[in-house]
């Protein structure tokens, strides 16, 4: 595939058909500068069919966000990769912000995050996420990781674990250099917090992260996370 683009955007999805057209439509103004790759992890809905009209390529992969993103990266042609969740929207100046960061010598980074809810609790959660990320150099998937293709491949890509792949790759990339923490905000969905309860979700994520840092099996952690009723 021959393309002259600045950025390859890789979007892992699983059963996102209901919102996918709207989210992908928002990326269309970037098409001249970006390659859009959607990687479906075996959806039981029409995600792949819905996406076909809006992206350069629909890829399939075994289920698992890390695996899906690695499959997308293998087909990327741009010098910089951006990993974007299907329920996250980029700021209008995202491409220029990434280009500036790379031009200043950063080989990876992420955006600040905001939620698509006006409730004060979500503003506080976003503030804490962004502040923690600046202090630790660890990003979350909602913050839209970008990384040069060369460094991504040299680092081995995402560890193909069932959960916490964002923490794992942050550790790998921190060994190469400090992340660019871009102040312009991606906007992500608050739906999983609202569905399961804000404070229950906060406590669960703290517990799972602590367990991961203490050496717990990511497969067991994924069962706890995705097995919520």
Distance between CA atoms of 38 and 45, rounded to whole angstroms?
A: 15
- What Cα–Cα distance (Å) separates residue 159 from each residue in 98, 148, 225? 24, 17, 18
Q: In this structure, is residue 213 part of a structural domain?
A: yes
**Which CATH number fits the domain that encloses residue 120?**
3.90.550.10
Domain ranges, residue 127: 7-226
Q: In this structure, is residue 108 part of a structural domain?
A: yes
Tell me what pLDDT residue 229 has: 39
Q: How far is CA 197 from the centre of its chain?
A: 22
Tell me what pLDDT residue 1 has: 47
Backbone angles phi, psi at 33, to 5 degrees: -110, -10
Provide the domain count of the chain. Answer: 1
Q: In this structure, is residue 218 part of a structural domain?
A: yes
- What Cα–Cα distance (Å) separates residue 188 from each residue in 1, 87, 89? 31, 6, 6
- What Cα–Cα distance (Å) separates residue 228 from each residue in 90, 105, 201? 28, 42, 10
Tell me what pLDDT residue 88 has: 94
Write out the two tokens for 140. 């979350």
Q: Per residue in 207-216, pLDDT tens?
A: 877 776 777 7
Reduce the secondary structure of the chain to three states and give it as a string.
CCCCCCEEEEEEECCCHHHHHHHHHCCHHHCCCEEEEEEECCCCCCHHHHHCCCCCEEEECCCCHHHHHHHHHHCCCCCEEEECCCCEECCCCHHHHHHHHHHCCCCEEEEEEEECCCCHHHHHHHHHHHHHHHHHCCCCHHHCCEEEHHHHHHHCCCCCCCCCHHHHHHHHHHCCCCCEEEEEEEEECCHHHHHHCHHHHHHHHHHHHHHHHCCCCHHHHHHHHHCCC
Q: In this structure, is residue 1 part of a structural domain?
A: no
Residue with token string 């150099």: 137
Tell me what pLDDT residue 3 has: 65
Q: In this structure, is residue 26 part of a structural domain?
A: yes
Write out the two tokens for 12. 């892992």
Q: What is the mean pLDDT of each run of 10 residues along the chain (229 residues)?
A: 80 92 94 95 94 95 94 96 95 95 96 94 93 93 96 95 89 95 94 74 76 74 65
Q: In this structure, is residue 2 part of a structural domain?
A: no
Q: In this structure, is residue 125 part of a structural domain?
A: yes
Q: Per residue in 46-72, pLDDT tens?
A: 999 999 999 999 999 999 999 999 999
Q: In this structure, is residue 42 part of a structural domain?
A: yes
Q: Which of 96, 97, 128 is nearest to 111 (CA)?
A: 97
């Amino acid at each position: 595939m021959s393309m002259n683009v600045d950025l390859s955007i890789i979007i892992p999805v699983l059963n996102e058909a209901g919102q996918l057209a709207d989210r992908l439509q928002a990326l269309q103004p970037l098409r001249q500068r970006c390659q859009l790759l959607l990687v479906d992890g075996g959806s039981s809905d029409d995600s792949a069919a819905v996406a076909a009209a809006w992206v350069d390529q629909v890829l399939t992969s075994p289920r698992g966000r890390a695996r899906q993103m690695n499959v997308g990266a293998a087909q990327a042609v741009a010098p910089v990769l951006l990993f974007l969740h299907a329920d996250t929207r980029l700021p209008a100046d995202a491409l220029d912000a990434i280009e500036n960061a790379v031009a200043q010598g950063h080989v990876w980074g992420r955006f600040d995050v905001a939620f698509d809810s006006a409730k004060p609790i979500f503003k506080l959660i976003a503030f804490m996420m962004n502040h923690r990320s600046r202090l630790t150099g660890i990003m979350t998937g909602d913050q839209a990781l970008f990384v040069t293709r060369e460094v991504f491949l040299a680092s081995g890509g995402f560890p193909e674990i069932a959960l916490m792949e964002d923490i794992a790759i942050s550790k790998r990339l921190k060994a190469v250099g400090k992340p660019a923490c871009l102040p312009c905000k991606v906007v992500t969905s608050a739906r999983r917090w609202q569905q399961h309860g804000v404070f229950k979700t906060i406590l669960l994520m703290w517990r799972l992260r602590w367990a991961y840092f203490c050496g717990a099996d990511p497969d067991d952690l994924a069962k706890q996370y995705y097995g919520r009723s």
